[in-house]
Structure 1
Amino acid sequence: MPRRHLRMTGAADCSLGAALRALRTELDLPTGFPDRAMAEAEEAVRAPDLSAHEDATDLPFLTVDPPASTDLDQAMHLERRGRGYRVHYAIADVAAFVRPGGALDAEAHRRVTTLYFPDDRIPLHPTALSEGAASLLPGEVRPAALWRIDLDSDGRAVATDVTRALVRSRAKLDYAGVQRQIDAGTAEEPLALLREIGRLREEQELARGGISLNVPEQEIVVQDGSYGLAYRAPLPAEGWNAQLSLLTGMAAAHLMAETGTGILRTLPIAPDGAVARLRRSAHALRIDWPHHVPYAEVVRSLDPSQGNHAAFLQECTTLLRGAGYTAFDHGDLPEPAVHAAVADLYTHCTAPLRRLVDRYASELCLAAIAGKEPPEWVREALPALPKEMAEGTRRANTVERACVDLVEAALLEGRVGDLFDAYVVDIQDRNPAVGTVHLRDPAIVGRIEGGTAALPLGERLRVRLTQAGPASKTVLFAPA
């Protein structure tokens, strides 16, 4: 999973913006698309393949994303169905624009995923597609894979369907605005149902032993030419929205399992030693975790705006290491098949504008519902997809780590020798005098070393900054 979310608000023309642009060059990342790929994209914009799409433009879809987002993968329409609910979830149909085996397809396989920087992004597809013709922008008719998932009164999925359809979003909403409307009671029913369904799905998640981590974002705040770091706790509406994506990913995974061909997102169960260490950290951070209470229930009770809770949530990410992709065919499910954090079969299928594997997952599910064999170009690509996605994920993590390190080092330049209060959130097994500390102010997570005694995992510690600045591109602390 990502190490940390990091985003910039305000102008990007400060010195940090220049350093981030230089970082893109240093990491040797793509700067543009090949001419042939651009030509194919331009042709696809003019003439997408819409031959198999039904008309669903009568459904009043809406999107919920960060305010500046323009690569809109998902749109929703929620409604009551008897005592239960129907979730209409439209996913951008990238296959309507990308020809298998073409130059644009080859470039997508080279990039694998959109790379996000605090101030910009390097897209998986040309922006004419990802932020234009394929994006589910308001007021525009767009091709989509339209999921219809029926839920009972407790939020359990009881029926699933997916077809190709033309859809039209009526509104582009952001999380803060959605939260205000729902809290004030002014949201109309399709939007108001987001909380009702989202909470039911959260209860289902808890019942099956799944867990969603609301890790606070680090936010670069730019003001008057200077900048700082602050934490931003996720809003409940973000969690409710994520539950719809999880619902669809689980439905897709079960469709694949039923047909015997697919690609899953898997995560092994954390070893007992990792859970025991997390319990020690919880105790030291004064997190109430009785032995009879499941881990998922404890995490759900945390408030990421509280310093010790935020530190513990950051430490909880250690249990989610080891996620990967596993393809299967001819009915042979991988072992393990379940994603431990989801506590169910799961796949990525809801972000095809930003992630390569999702386009293939959509095709596999569309074929499954239609009772057909998957397209040959999908089946041929399956064996190599896990390795491609693993490499793309490593690249994205490298970008994320480099951005975080650069921002933190720049912020603390000139403060070497200063003392800070921190929590110890991680220690190395092979050398417990080396680990990671979590500062609350400024909002920084950094490496600590240089001491001789084992670090007190989960406890407060006074630390001294020993290294920072653009030249080092990292921060380093030592016990004070």
Structure 2
Amino acid sequence: MAKRHIVYRRAEPPGGAGLALAERFEAIRDEFEVPKEFPADVVAEAMRAAGSADLATTDATDIPFITLDPPTSMDLDQAMHIERKGDGYRVRYAIADVPAFVQPGGAIDAESRRRGQTIYCPDKRVQLHPKEISEGAASLLPDQVRPAFVWDMVLAADGEGVEVSVARAMVRSVRRYDYVEAQQLVDGGSAEEVLLLLREVGEKRITLEAKRGGATLPMPEQEVAEDGKGGFTVSFRPLLASEDWNAQISLLTGMGAADLMLRGKVGVLRTMPDPDPRDIKRFRRQAAAAGVPWAKDLAYGEFLRTLDRTNPKHLALIHEATALFRGAGYTHFNGSVPEQPNHSAVANPYAHVTAPLRRLVDRFGLVVCEALSAGNEVPRWVLEALPTIPEVMTTSDRRAGGVERACTDAVEAAELRSRVGSTVEGVVVDQNEKGVVVQLIDFAVVAKATGRADEGATVQVRVDAAEIETGTLALSVVS
């Protein structure tokens, strides 16, 4: 919920700084031991599985599912259909049936446990599964019959969940939308009913999230584009409302999955403790220093939703709010429920089950929920794997986070390389005994700087070093 993704638009052929940046991304993958090509036996097994999967017998191809994803994505995990049911709603959410293509104990199973998750770099994705599965046989691409776990959820008029079940079925997506297209259609009044209902349900779920005390960190994408002359333009892209609505359907499903698991006393939850009160107080001080009003009775989750992602001072606060989202992990259980089952940002128990093409834990969570929903025993291979999942995911989360931070450092160094020796303007968003953290006003950069200044102050910052090859960025406050 607090990740910042970088979108990199590369010139062909790359030159100057562009070539250095591409080489740095490759070096980062080597430093963090990110797996490269899939072993031959994994690819061979994927090719066989693509043609002989264990497919569901239930036919749900009459349901006109749609997908909503970034325009270039080929690994489509989710498809949805929403309709009115009385004064409420019926949401059906089809999730790619990855277990149909992965033999427990087989080569793909072993390799996916080694990888843990898809690693996103600005220039490429290092996928969890071979493309024969992730971009082919298991992906919910339009006009293709695909196996899926179909979540069937009934909501009350206010958007609150009333019933949840999940079963395997064959589905077909009839239309693929990207977020910009969906947003334009809704805003323009020409969207089909399913998109209008997505907005309606999404907005009601956002209201319920605020009432629960939940919090979503509106972290924008960082877009990097080569100019073809060895330079770059770097900017932050605020998230669209359509992305928020879509995320609420995923959260709704994850909450339903957690409910099934807790009632069945078996599964693996995504958990996170409440923020440290000291961090909340510190964040309030940062907001005050930045001159951003925050009412005393307004919870931090509601405050985050008031921030303008196009305002540099607000953007800096969004960056600093990541300190409130620490401690997330995975908690497995079998036979008794965990003492602490909640995810503080969701303000509810929650499980990862909506991205099995990109995250290992979801494959096991889906099988657990399908068995519990049908009143069947959870397969032994899943029960045996559950205790190992938290460590695998923690390791892969650590790797993914390290890669993301290193790539961000490289991008920021690339953006400021031509400004070494000159000064730029920034806003101080934090300070400690070693210096300050500044949000540069004319650059998509939040970075540490030596020197002293009050939080909220606008300062001149000298760029002392900006090395793409090492991701080094050195700044100092000069006024």
- Quickly name the TM-score band, shorter chain normalised: over 0.9
Aligned pairs for 1:78-117 (under 5 A) are: 78-117=82-121
Q: Does 1:325 align with 2:323?
A: no
Report the secondary structure of 1:401's partner residue.
Answer: helix
Counterpart of 1:466 in structure 2 is: 464
Deviations for 1:12-48, whole angstroms, at most 9, x for unmatched residues? 6422334433443444322211121111101001111
Tell me if structure 1 keeps the 8 A contact 2:24–2:470. no
Q: Percent identity?
A: 47
- Distance in 2 between the 1:348 and 1:425 partners? 33
Please give the root-mean-square deviation of Cα atoms over the aligned residues, in Å.
1.5
Amino acid at match of 1:244: I
Report the secondary structure of 1:476's partner residue.
Answer: strand
- Distance in 1 between the 2:431 and 2:102 partners? 46
Tell me if structure 2 keeps the 8 A contact 1:228–1:442. no
Deviations for 1:219-260, whole angstroms, at most 9, x for unmatched residues? 102333432211111111110000000000010011100000
How many residue pairs were aligned? 472
- Distance in 2 between the 1:145 and 1:193 partners? 22
Q: Does 1:74 align with 2:65?
A: no
- Distance in 2 between the 1:337 and 1:361 partners? 15
Write out the 4+ residue segments of structure 1 that deviate beyond 4 Å after TM superposition. Answer: none
Q: Does 1:387 align with 2:391?
A: yes
Q: What are the ranges of 5 or more consecutive residues in structure 2 without an aligned counterpart?
A: none
Amino acid at match of 2:440: L
Moved more, 12-21 or 141-150: 12-21
Counterpart of 1:409 in structure 2 is: 413
Counterpart of 2:297 in structure 1 is: 292
Tell me if structure 1 keeps the 8 A contact 2:50–2:133. yes
Q: Does 1:436 align with 2:440?
A: no
Tell me if structure 1 keeps the 8 A contact 2:257–2:351. yes
Counterpart of 2:422 in structure 1 is: 418
Amino acid at match of 2:385: A
Amino acid at match of 1:146: V
- Displacement after TM superposition at 1:10 (Å): 4.8
Counterpart of 1:9 in structure 2 is: 9
Report the secondary structure of 1:412's partner residue.
Answer: helix
Amino acid at match of 1:401: R
- Distance in 1 between the 2:232 and 2:215 partners? 34
- Distance in 1 between the 2:57 and 2:329 partners? 32
Tell me if structure 2 keeps the 8 A contact 1:414–1:469. no
- TM-score using structure 2 length: 0.95
Aligned pairs for 1:45-444 (under 5 A) are: 45-50=50-55, 52-225=56-229, 226-333=231-338, 335-428=339-432, 431=433, 433-444=434-445
Report the secondary structure of 2:469's partner residue.
Answer: coil
Report the secondary structure of 1:336's partner residue.
Answer: coil
- Distance in 2 between the 1:254 and 1:133 partners? 30
Report the secondary structure of 1:475's partner residue.
Answer: strand
Tell me if structure 2 keeps the 8 A contact 1:280–1:458. no
Amino acid at match of 1:478: S
Amino acid at match of 1:48: A
- Displacement after TM superposition at 1:472 (Å): 3.1
Distance 1:458 1:262, change over 3 A: farther
Report the secondary structure of 2:414's partner residue.
Answer: helix
Amino acid at match of 1:153: A
Distance 1:386 1:26, change over 3 A: closer
- Displacement after TM superposition at 1:440 (Å): 3.0
